[in-house]
Structures are given as C-alpha cells and as structure tokens.
Chain A
Amino acid sequence: MSKPLEGVRVADFTMHAAGPFCAHVLSLLGAEVIKVESAMRLDIFRRPHPVYGRMDVSPFEQVAANKLSVTLNLKEPRAVELAKRLVAISDLAIESFRPGVMERLGLGYEELSRVKPEIVMLSISAFGQTGLDRSYPGYAPLFGAAGGLGYLTGYSDGPPVEIRHVMDHSVGMTGAFAALAALLRRRYDGRGQHVDLAACEVASALIGDALVAAAFGEEPARCGNASETMAPHNVYPCRGTDAWLSIAVSNEAEWRALASVMGRTELAADPRFRTCEDRLKNVAVLDEIVAAWTSSRDADDAARELQALGISAVPSWNAAQLANDVHLRARGTIVDLEVDGAPRAVVGSLVRFSKSSCGLRSGTPALGEHNDYVFGDLLGISRDKRRLLERERVIY
C-alpha cells in the first residue's frame, strides 16, 4: 500500500519541538521530509538539556524519526542557495525561527515564492508573523500561559500549570493540518501561499469555549478535575505506587452500576447522591467513598470491570505501561524500532487507513546522513563539488 502523502516533499527548517513535530506528522503520513540542520548549532535534542534535567543527547524519534537529515551552514551564501534549490524541488517549506530570521537569511516567503511560486510555506512562531509581540521568543509553557490554557489548568486552590511538550506538539499537529489544507487547495488552483501559525493562538484555540463564556461576562477559573455535569468525575488512587484510575459517571444508570460494583447499592438511593445535582453538591464525600473502593484495587482490573458496565473508567497510564500496551501494539501505534542494535518502543503510526499505509520507515537520522542523497541524487551536485562544500563548511 502506498502512503497518503507519497510524492509530497517537505523542506524542514524547524528546530526545538513544535515545528519538528509538525514535519514528523507529515512524514508519518508518507511525505519525504528533509530536515535542514547544521553542526554550527545543533538541534536541542542533539545536545544536553540541563534545564530539563537531561544531561545527555537523546535519540529523538518522537520528532525526527523517518526524516532525512542534511547539513547546511545558512550563514554561508552558498548554503542559502542550496537551501533555495532544495525548496525548488519541494512542495512544502516549514520553518520555526523567530519572525524575520528567514528573511534575513534570504529565505523568506517572498524570496522562496520567487524560486518556486507554488510553494506552500508554513511559519510557526510563538506569537505570529505580525503584531506587537512577533519578535518575542517562546517555548511550550509560555505558549500555554499566554494563550490562557495554563491559567485554566490546575487545582482550584493551586497555581496555574505549565503545559509541556503536548503544547508544542499540539501546535505541530495544528500546523500539519493547516499546511495540508493549503497543499490540497494548491491542487485545485495551482497557487502556493504562506501559512502563519502562532503557538500561543493554538493554546487559545484549546480554550475556545471558555473564551465564548468570557465574551458573555463569565469568569472561567481553574477547577481541577471537577465537571459541571458529571459526578463522580475524578482521578482516584489505586493499589500500588502512584497508580490512579480516572472515572467519569455521566448518568444515573452508570451511577447505579458503580454503586453496585462498589458493593454499596444503598448509595443509589441515598438522598445525597440520588441525582447528578445531588452528587455534585456532595462531591467531596462522594470522592472519598469512591477512593476508598479504588484504593485496594488494581487500576486496570477496576477499569475493565467498570468498562463492562459502560462506565468511562481509564487508568492513568505512564510511559512504561503505554510502551507495553496490548491495544496500542495491536493497532501499530507503538512498535519497536531497532536503534544501535536494541529495540526501542516508539510511536509507529498516528492513524490507520484502509487503503493507505502510515508509519515509520526509519529512526532518527544521523546529522547530515543524507547529504549525498539530497545534494547528489536530488540536486545533481557532483561528488567532488560536495566534498569541496563540506571542506569549506557550506555543507556543514
């Protein structure tokens, strides 16, 4: 089976997490993604990350698997010319520098569209390509904070919460959608265009409902795990260390079923808990009752028992549990990839298609691993010329 984006080529000028994840999603869907990087300034995953507590380099399959790697020192005019030639044979160019950097490099949209008028270019930045804050830098927790998602996340009596890598990757996934929408449009009108994606606006899009409420004068606030319409609705301790089960009861039948499973059928008739409204009023006591039941149980066993009764009960799985999860393995979502002779659990595919395949071909490329293929086979630069450009730190 072919991949849905087979034949689509992406020139990937991104760094850190949001942009690289965007290009990674496209690669999972079958695009040929050429990551442009440089020994002059290594990708953050190719060097230690002390603020994060990672003191070593890491394979970074979660944003780099499947990609081809080329090295270009974009401070060199000849490298910029090579980058333009790469864009000329690509369908999409993606970048995540601060606004203005690509222009200074001679690789802004105006210039690239002269090189290839039908190019679709996606620019990912913290605050967008226009506006007062365009030049400010940002990382995932700042996107979440500025966009409102961090403010609304947290315990009702606690501080706001940093939204971490999923914030970056949510930006990247949204970027993949927008880039493909522009690419699909091009199929019909033949025109390229520039797509401007602001990471903090992705965070705001994730609180779009709260923004509607605010527009009507409401003041949405942090509410922990509470729901306005469901009780029980919380995360409860289970047997073992740091083991938890999320339970969400959405109607009276589910509540009666839960009470029965807990061996507390009398609770269904208890006036404190009879209706959802009653349970919401007495949610603190209710949570204690449910926690007393879950705390002696294995989270997976309890989830299976409750799911059989139609109750949304899902364990709070950690990475080790997900890596070995039977369901995810059956779907091909998690696969083992051989890295340095040993298997590593990685995300193998994002979605399943009935007629197309989707997923991994290879792991994280070595820095410049595909220089010969891209500059030689695709761009037709002779071996001797490539070696010269390497010696002169253009291909570097």
Chain B
Amino acid sequence: MTGALAGLRVLERSSGAAAAYAGRLFAVCGADVTLVEPPGGTQLRREPPFVPNAAEPSALFTYLAAGKSSSVCDLATAAGRAGFDAMLATTDVLFDDTPVGERAALGLDPQRIARDFPAVVFVSILPFGAFGPRADWRATELGSLHSGGEGYLTPNGLAIERHPDRPPVKIYGQFANFQGGTAAATAAIAALIARPREKGQFVDVSVQDANVTESAIALQRWADGVLETRATRSFRYGGVLECQDGEIEVLTLEQHQWEALVQLSGESGWADSGDFDDSLERSRRGAEINRHLRAWAKRNRVDEVVRRGRELGVPIVRYASPGEVLGDVRARARGLFANVTLADETAFPVLLAPFQFSATPAALRSAPPKLDERRREPAHV
C-alpha cells in the first residue's frame, strides 16, 4: 500500500515552520517532497528546541523534515534558478514562504511561475498573506499567535487566576505556524482537486487568516455582545486541578457527567444537598464548586482519580508530559510513532501523523535529510 498522496511531487522552500509543516503533511501521506534550501541550509536547521548530542541538533527540523529530501539551489544565481526550474517542470505543488518583496529577484514571482509552469499549484505561506496592507509585515511564531486572536486569550482558568496581572502567554512551540501549515496543505489539495478544471493556480495562505478562522468563536461572542478576555473566558468550574503528584483536566458539559463527577469527588458530601443539580446554578456558583474540587484533588493522586473517574464516565485526563506521551501504551499501540534512524545510526521514535487511513497508511520513509541529500522519486499519479 502507498500513501494517499503518493505520486505527487512537491517542492518546499521554507524558512519557517508553517511551510515546513505543510510539506510534512504531504510527506507523511506519501508525496515526494524536496526541501529546496539555500547554500548553508534552511534556517529551520538552526531552530530550537535543540538536542545537543544528536547528529541533527534541531529537534524541530528533525520533526518537520523527516521523510523529505534536500536540494540546494541558490536562487540568487542564474544557475540556481535554472536548476530550480528544472525541478519545477515535474512538480505538482510548490510551498514557498519567501517574503513578497523578494520573490521577483529569485524567480518566484507568481505570474512568472503561472506562465512557465501552468500546472503547478503555487502555495504562498506568509504571516499575513501575499495580499493586503500588511502583506510585508514580519511575524515570528509569537507574533503570529497574537495576530490571530488566541494570543490575547491565553492563558485562562487556573493560570490566569494565579497570575492575573501577567502578560498573555504563548501556546507551546509553533502552534500558530502549524495551523497556517495545515490550512496551506488543505488548500493545496483543494487546488489539486480543482486542477482538471482550473489547471495550476496561486494560493495565498496567511498564517493570520488560519488562526483567525480557528479562533473565530471569540469573534462570534463579540458579535453576540461579549468581548472575551483571558479572565472572563474561563470555564465556570472544573478545568486544571492539582493532585498530589501532577495535574488533571476535568470538564463536565453534560448533566450525567456532572453527576459522575459528584460521585467521584463527593466523598466529603459537599454536593449532597442538591444545591448544584441545576446547570445554571452551577455556572453561577462555579468558584464555590472549584474550592471543593481543588481541595478534593489535592488529597488524591493522578492515576487513581483518572482511573476511577473514567470508570464513572467523567471526562478526565492527566496533563501528560512529552515523556509520558512518548511512553504512552495507547499511543504506541495505535502506531502514533515511527522509528527514524539518523546518519550516526541513532534510532528514535518520531510522531508519524495524527490520522490513520485504512487503505493508504501514512509513513515516514526517511530521516531528516542532510544538506543536498536528494532522493527524488518518479511520479506515478
């Protein structure tokens, strides 16, 4: 069996995580993805987090580039551009995050690509898109998270209760960029589906747009007359609870789940009076409920309350560390990780993909490429 996107050829010019994540999604689905790098390699090879003792020091690059090949093309030179064009001639999708103002000089002008390579789906991925008054603005991950609205709203719950005066805090890693990359990969396939009708086309993806779209419930609330803030957005009760040996998340949206939580935590009898039977009343008295839940959690251990809670039907999980995710029996059984071997023969697990296809399974076919390590495969779609 081959991947869902086997036979597609992709060129990826990425200096940031958004374009690289789009390429990764294609690669794990079987597309032949070539990372087109400048001399010296993409900036992503030098991005944190780092694993100092590994043959490939950037864990981010390892994660994003596994399964791809590499070709060095200096687009500042005529020879480099000619080599790039030769690859484009057999390419289906080009992912590119070159700033708009730099594209023409590098031969990446969308009109030129459309004229010379009419079948190519050219997906531009930039922090604010390729069109609009802020198309030339820069944004790192931190800026992109705040450009989309979610930065303003994070954290909530226990963290904002504890630290109400602190600045907003970012979501870990490359969250905003990965959303931009997923939107780009999705849009690329939509354009491929339309290709018999439209041929190739230019697709303008903005990381901001993707994140605004994903955080649009705040927009909906604003249109309802409620401006959400970090403090007002918290769930009225439940959320992060600290146990003796770690944290758990509890969220009961349905009545039967609440009743199960009462059963789980009701050993002290605080909820026996029936005062909290009504969901609206619970919402009004959330702080009081939280005092009880937090005191209860502090007396217990994570594994025990999660086990008992699940038996009772309470939506409850542990806040899992990366090490715990990596060692999770459930995840391993589902094949969430694939083993990758670096040049120094170090073998280690890398998350494969968060989806499973019944007929065309995802796969990681190789370690992250060394600079200019070419593995291009023949097209067969």
Tell me which residues from 336 to 381 in chain B have a Cβ below 8 Å from any Cβ of chain A.
336-337, 348-351, 353-360, 381
Whether the Cβ atoms of B152 and A316 lie closer than 8 Å is: yes
- The answer, yes or no, to whether B259 is at the interface (CB within 8 Å) is no
Closest to B280 in A: A50
- The answer, yes or no, to whether A206 is at the interface (CB within 8 Å) is yes
A67-103 interface mask toward B, CB cutoff 8 Å, 1 = contact, 0 = none?
0000000000000000000000000000000000000
Closest CB in chain B relative to A356 CB, distance in Å: 6
CB < 8 Å neighbour of B51 from A129, A216, A323, A354: A216
Whether the Cβ atoms of B227 and A164 lie closer than 8 Å is: no
Whether the Cβ atoms of B149 and A352 lie closer than 8 Å is: no
Tell me which residues from 182 to 198 in chain B have a Cβ below 8 Å from any Cβ of chain A.
182-187, 189-194, 197-198
Main secondary structure of the interface of A (DSSP, over half): mixed
Whether the Cβ atoms of A355 and B198 lie closer than 8 Å is: yes
Whether the Cβ atoms of B189 and A181 lie closer than 8 Å is: yes
- The answer, yes or no, to whether B330 is at the interface (CB within 8 Å) is yes
CB < 8 Å neighbour of A159 from B64, B158, B237: B158
- The answer, yes or no, to whether B239 is at the interface (CB within 8 Å) is yes
Whether the Cβ atoms of A229 and B54 lie closer than 8 Å is: no
Closest CB in chain A relative to B39 CB, distance in Å: 19
Whether the Cβ atoms of B220 and A314 lie closer than 8 Å is: no
CA distance A219 to B4 in the complex (A): 34
CA distance A202 to B355 in the complex (A): 8
- The answer, yes or no, to whether B163 is at the interface (CB within 8 Å) is yes
Chain B: interface residue total (CB-CB under 8 A): 158
Tell me which residues from 232 to 268 in chain B have a Cβ below 8 Å from any Cβ of chain A.
232-233, 235-240, 242, 247-249, 251-253, 257
Chain A residues contacting B358 (CB-CB under 8 Å) are: 109, 193-196
- The answer, yes or no, to whether A386 is at the interface (CB within 8 Å) is no
Whether the Cβ atoms of B197 and A208 lie closer than 8 Å is: no
B52-88 interface mask toward A, CB cutoff 8 Å, 1 = contact, 0 = none?
0110000110111000000000000000000000000
Whether the Cβ atoms of A347 and B348 lie closer than 8 Å is: no
- The answer, yes or no, to whether B218 is at the interface (CB within 8 Å) is yes
Chain B residues contacting A130 (CB-CB under 8 Å) are: 333-334
- The answer, yes or no, to whether A53 is at the interface (CB within 8 Å) is yes
CB < 8 Å neighbour of B201 from A109, A155, A330, A353: A353
Main secondary structure of the interface of B (DSSP, over half): mixed
Chain A residues contacting B50 (CB-CB under 8 Å) are: 213, 228
CA distance A169 to B212 in the complex (A): 11
CA distance A5 to B114 in the complex (A): 21
Chain B residues contacting A166 (CB-CB under 8 Å) are: 150, 171, 175, 179, 211, 214-215
Given contacts A246-B151, A314-B143, A318-B149, contact A330 B239 (CB under 8 A): no
CA distance A54 to B337 in the complex (A): 39
Tell me which residues from 292 to 338 in chain B have a Cβ below 8 Å from any Cβ of chain A.
310, 313, 315-326, 329-331, 333-334, 336-337
Given contacts A170-B214, A212-B51, contact A331 B189 (CB under 8 A): no
Given contacts A151-B319, A159-B159, A159-B242, contact A185 B134 (CB under 8 A): no
Closest CB in chain A relative to B359 CB, distance in Å: 4
Whether the Cβ atoms of A142 and B251 lie closer than 8 Å is: yes
Whether the Cβ atoms of B209 and A141 lie closer than 8 Å is: no
- The answer, yes or no, to whether B104 is at the interface (CB within 8 Å) is no
Whether the Cβ atoms of A346 and B317 lie closer than 8 Å is: no
Closest CB in chain A relative to B340 CB, distance in Å: 9
Chain A residues contacting B223 (CB-CB under 8 Å) are: 59, 323, 344-346
- The answer, yes or no, to whether A36 is at the interface (CB within 8 Å) is no
Chain B residues contacting A115 (CB-CB under 8 Å) are: none
Closest CB in chain A relative to B344 CB, distance in Å: 12
A37-69 interface mask toward B, CB cutoff 8 Å, 1 = contact, 0 = none?
000000010001111111110111110000000
Whether the Cβ atoms of A346 and B251 lie closer than 8 Å is: no
Chain B residues contacting A313 (CB-CB under 8 Å) are: 143
CB < 8 Å neighbour of A207 from B51, B257, B322, B381: B322
Chain B residues contacting A331 (CB-CB under 8 Å) are: 129, 131-132, 206, 209
Whether the Cβ atoms of B219 and A322 lie closer than 8 Å is: yes
Whether the Cβ atoms of A354 and B203 lie closer than 8 Å is: yes
- The answer, yes or no, to whether A187 is at the interface (CB within 8 Å) is yes
CA distance A128 to B253 in the complex (A): 21
Given contacts A211-B325, A331-B206, contact A161 B183 (CB under 8 A): no
Given contacts A51-B253, A159-B242, A174-B355, contact A350 B325 (CB under 8 A): no
Whether the Cβ atoms of B49 and A210 lie closer than 8 Å is: yes
- The answer, yes or no, to whether A286 is at the interface (CB within 8 Å) is no
Tell me which residues from 124 to 172 in chain B have a Cβ below 8 Å from any Cβ of chain A.
128-129, 131-134, 137-159, 162-163, 166-172
Chain B residues contacting A215 (CB-CB under 8 Å) are: 326, 348-350
Closest CB in chain A relative to B110 CB, distance in Å: 7
- The answer, yes or no, to whether B174 is at the interface (CB within 8 Å) is yes
- The answer, yes or no, to whether A180 is at the interface (CB within 8 Å) is yes
Whether the Cβ atoms of A173 and B356 lie closer than 8 Å is: no
Whether the Cβ atoms of A187 and B193 lie closer than 8 Å is: yes
- The answer, yes or no, to whether A390 is at the interface (CB within 8 Å) is no
Closest CB in chain A relative to B24 CB, distance in Å: 9
- The answer, yes or no, to whether A252 is at the interface (CB within 8 Å) is no
- The answer, yes or no, to whether A165 is at the interface (CB within 8 Å) is yes
Whether the Cβ atoms of B323 and A145 lie closer than 8 Å is: no
Whether the Cβ atoms of B354 and A307 lie closer than 8 Å is: no
- The answer, yes or no, to whether A234 is at the interface (CB within 8 Å) is yes
Chain A residues contacting B54 (CB-CB under 8 Å) are: 216
Tell which of B139, B211, B236, B358 has the most Cβ of chain A within 10 Å.
B358
CA distance A6 to B251 in the complex (A): 39
Whether the Cβ atoms of B354 and A202 lie closer than 8 Å is: yes
Whether the Cβ atoms of A244 and B146 lie closer than 8 Å is: yes
Chain A residues contacting B202 (CB-CB under 8 Å) are: 353-354
- The answer, yes or no, to whether A209 is at the interface (CB within 8 Å) is yes
Whether the Cβ atoms of A182 and B360 lie closer than 8 Å is: yes
Chain A residues contacting B232 (CB-CB under 8 Å) are: 53
Closest to B184 in A: A351
Given contacts A50-B280, A205-B351, contact A311 B138 (CB under 8 A): yes
CA distance A129 to B355 in the complex (A): 11
Closest CB in chain A relative to B167 CB, distance in Å: 4
CA distance A331 to B132 in the complex (A): 6
What are 9 A-to-B residue pairs whose CB atoms are below 8 Å?
Answer: A25-B213, A29-B186, A51-B237, A141-B249, A209-B63, A330-B132, A331-B132, A350-B183, A354-B204
Nearest 8 pairs of A and B residues by beta carbon: A314-B143, A152-B172, A50-B283, A62-B216, A201-B354, A193-B359, A4-B190, A169-B214
List 6 additional A-B contacts (Cβ < 8 Å) besides A193-B358, A314-B144. Answer: A153-B154, A155-B169, A184-B4, A208-B63, A213-B50, A346-B220
